Structure 1
Amino acid sequence: MRKLLSRFQGDKAIWAYVILLALFSFMPVFSASTNLVHVVGTGTIIGLLLKHFFHIFIGIVIIYVVHRIPFDKLKFIAPVAWFPVFLLLVFTALQGMVIGGANASRWLKVPGVNISFQPSSIGWIALMAYLAWFLWRFADEKYTFKWSLLWVWLPIGLIVLPIFPSNLSTAAIIFFMACVLLFMGKYPVKYLTKVIGAGAIFGIIMFFAVKAFPDIMPSRFNTWVARVDRFGSDEKDVDRYQIDNAKIAIAQGRMFGVGPGKSIQKNFLPQSSSDFIYAIIVEEFGFLGGIVVLIVYVLLLWRFLVVSSKASNLFGKYLVVGLGFSIVFQSFINMGVAVEIFPTTGQPLPLISSGGTSIWMTCVSLGIILSVSRREEEVRQQLKENQEKEEEFRRILEEQELQQAQIDESNPMSAVINK
């Protein structure tokens, strides 16, 4: 067992928190599954649990495989990986997939098998890796805004824009996390301010354009405006079905919850196993359960900061910031939506919400972070071994000198000869 556990290297605390969240996820997913089976009519409870187990198991395998690969190899892939992902995102946006009669152009179906995934998650990772490479490669360069438009903002735009029409929240979060990583990488704030300001103006113009011409705009655009309108609204004519049921679930949880599997609102709350799973967690495990889940994500953030601070390689440092902060920020968004701190976004709760794409892409990011941590452990271990060898060599020399001194004391003639 010890030999097996030794194969799982990297930051042990990150491993512990990931396994803890993965194991805990089965309880709210099981509870929400009863809603999907008896209310929605999707599959069976055992089938849905086995599906979630499969996603989690493959996710752990992904973390293990990725964390054994030296992250330095990404230096050769990161500069170009974002471009084929951009083409994949464009293809996904144009293919117009429909799920359950609704537009689902954020999904891409794998031909020949009944598997679909969201390429936006791959684009997220590819963009963070590219920006980490850029900040490492040009760390000592003084670049102009025009030059950085080509090297920084063009790749960001080509990843974000194809996602934007079908999944505004994901596009906005990717853009925000890119700005955070650039800020952490000491990208000039004056350039960053220009782009953020332009993005804010574009968003405001789009918002009022959709409100002014709702009939000629795509349906997803009207959905965004509706979500913003009902955010924090008390008007009776505003559809607040999702958030109101989430609030009811949280209120019923009180301090200690109604108990695992005993949620009532799971029968009324749409997306209870994914987007609003945190409301089910608070209902069943109470305020204390919700706080514990929040604390685990905060502890994960702390470990990401520790790994980033210890990384001697700038590329590894920026990888941890870009990928690690994205995971935690996404979790905060999901929890914030449930308590109406943010408008409804459709973001899953990493490692807890059901859904293969979310779990697997999160695990890829965690595997890369653990690879960075593993590399630093290997460097420290090598330094420790070298230090021990130096101390051993010094000890042998001291013993030899001591023995020679004893010989010289016992035989004065040998001392004369040595001199």
Structure 2
Amino acid sequence: MTKILANIKGDRMIWAVAALLALFSFLPVYSASSNLAYLYGDGNTFKFLIKHGAHLVLGFLIMYGVHKIPYHYFKGLSIIMIPVIVVLLLVTMAQNTTIGGANASRWIRIPFVGVTFQTSTLAAVVLMTYVARYLSKIKDKKVSFKETLLPLWLPVAVVLMLILPANFSTTAIIFSMVIMLVFLGGYPLKYIITILGTAFLVLSFFILFAKAFPGVFPNRVDTWVSRIENFADNKDTEEDYQIERAKIAIARGGVIGKGPGKSVQRNFLPQSSSDFIYAIIIEEWGFVGGVFLMLLYILLLLRLVIVAHKSIDVFGKLLVIGVGLPIVFQALINMAVAVELFPVTGQTLPLISSGGTSIWMTCLAIGIVLSVSSKRQTIVENQNINENKNEENPSEVLSEVI
């Protein structure tokens, strides 16, 4: 154990929070996957638990491997990966997958492995890293809006436009995070307002185009409008089925919950092990369990802020904010949807919900954050070693001065 801990660098609290979330996830995933086992399998829930465990093991291996990479390498990698991401998104869109008549081209199948992969989640991490790199490059420089169009906003626009037709919520989250990052990175506010206005016009044009030519993006815009209308009107419609079941689960949970594995609504919620797992957690663990889980994400947020503040350069600060903050933001959105504070978005609960892509990309982002914190940790350790040497050999220091 000592050797293992010696090889683990970076913020220990972030490691601890990630491990706690991962360990806790086994209980609600095992419980919530029972309906999947009976709907799509032979009733064996244990294989879903094994699958979730395999996803987590691979995720933590990714986290460990990435945190060993010097974070400055991610500058060059982000430039290389942007074209790769564009190609992957184009391939994903070209599949023209539909679910219930709606465009759902979000996943691609990895050849010879049989594993599906959601390309937009990888695109989010790569894009945020790319934006952090560019902002650190122009820090303290006076740039015009025209100068930033091609190197900054063109890649952002291309990636978001390729994600938008099949996944509006992910597009909105990524765009929000990019705007937040450029604001914190010192990008001129007047340029940000221009980008927001342009984005509104582009989205309006897309909606009008989709309405005029429904065969190009089947039912996608109708789905967005339906979700927002159902949320605003608060009607008990068939489309509101999931959120109503989630509210029932939360109401049944009370203060301390019904106990692990004793959820009833898991048998009725179609996405009980992914999108609405927070409702199942509250039903089984109550208000206490729900608040405890939220506090873990808040603690993660605090550690992200500390790591960003202590980073040795601008790129490190922006990188931590860019790839780390979306994890907490996504978690809060998932919780808000479960308690009907937000329209249904389809966002998973990081490190808790089942699903390989979500787990792997969350671990990738945390690994990048740990890489930033481990760099400062190494510098501090080297300084302490040098100070100890100077204290032990004052004659050597005197000779160097002479």
Which bracket does the TM-score occupy, shorter chain normalised?
over 0.9
Deviation at 1:388, TM superposition (A): 2.1
State the distance in 2 between where 1:42 and 1:214 align.
39
State the distance in 1 between where 2:27 and 2:393 align.
57
Q: Percent identity?
A: 48
Deviation at 1:235, TM superposition (A): 3.3
Structure 2 counterpart of 1:166: 166
Summarize the Cα distance change of 1:248–1:212 in structure 2 as closer, same or farther, 3 Å threshold: farther
After the TM superposition, which residues 159-308 of structure 1 pair with which residues of structure 2 at under 5 Å, given as runs?
A: 159-204=159-204, 218-237=218-237, 239-308=239-308
Deviation at 1:203, TM superposition (A): 3.6
CA displacement 1:284-335 (0-9 Å, x = unmatched): 1001100000000000000000000000121111110001101111111111
Counterpart secondary structure, 1:44: coil
Higher relative contact order (CA 8 A, sep 6+): 2
Deviates more, 1:165-174 or 1:225-234: 225-234
CA displacement 1:174-205 (0-9 Å, x = unmatched): 11111111111111111111111232344456
Structure 2 counterpart of 1:87: 87
State the distance in 2 between where 1:43 and 1:197 align.
51
- Give the alignment's TM-score, normalised by structure 1: 0.90
CA displacement 1:339-366 (0-9 Å, x = unmatched): 1111100001000000000000111111
State the distance in 2 between where 1:180 and 1:162 align.
21
Structure 2 counterpart of 1:311: 311
CA displacement 1:41-78 (0-9 Å, x = unmatched): 47621111100010011111111111111111112222
Deviation at 1:279, TM superposition (A): 0.5
Counterpart secondary structure, 1:10: coil
Structure 2 counterpart of 1:342: 342
Counterpart secondary structure, 2:116: strand
Deviates more, 1:70-79 or 1:363-372: 70-79
State the distance in 2 between where 1:259 and 1:13 align.
28
Structure 2 counterpart of 1:409: none
Q: Which runs of 5+ in 1 are unaligned?
A: 399-419
Deviation at 1:102, TM superposition (A): 7.0
Counterpart secondary structure, 1:109: strand
Counterpart secondary structure, 2:109: strand
Contact 1:18 1:351 in 2 (8 A): yes
Summarize the Cα distance change of 1:232–1:31 in structure 2 as closer, same or farther, 3 Å threshold: farther
Q: Does 1:126 find its partner at 2:126? A: yes
Contact 2:104 2:167 in 1 (8 A): no
Counterpart secondary structure, 1:71: coil
Q: Which runs of 5+ in 2 are unaligned?
A: none
Contact 2:121 2:361 in 1 (8 A): yes
- Give the alignment's TM-score, normalised by structure 2: 0.93
Q: Does 1:382 find its partner at 2:400? A: no
Summarize the Cα distance change of 1:235–1:101 in structure 2 as closer, same or farther, 3 Å threshold: closer
Summarize the Cα distance change of 1:171–1:318 in structure 2 as closer, same or farther, 3 Å threshold: same
After the TM superposition, which residues 139-154 of structure 1 pair with which residues of structure 2 at under 5 Å, given as runs?
A: 139-154=139-154
Summarize the Cα distance change of 1:209–1:343 in structure 2 as closer, same or farther, 3 Å threshold: farther
State the distance in 2 between where 1:168 and 1:236 align.
24
Contact 1:14 1:300 in 2 (8 A): yes
Counterpart secondary structure, 2:271: coil
Deviates more, 1:324-333 or 1:73-82: 73-82
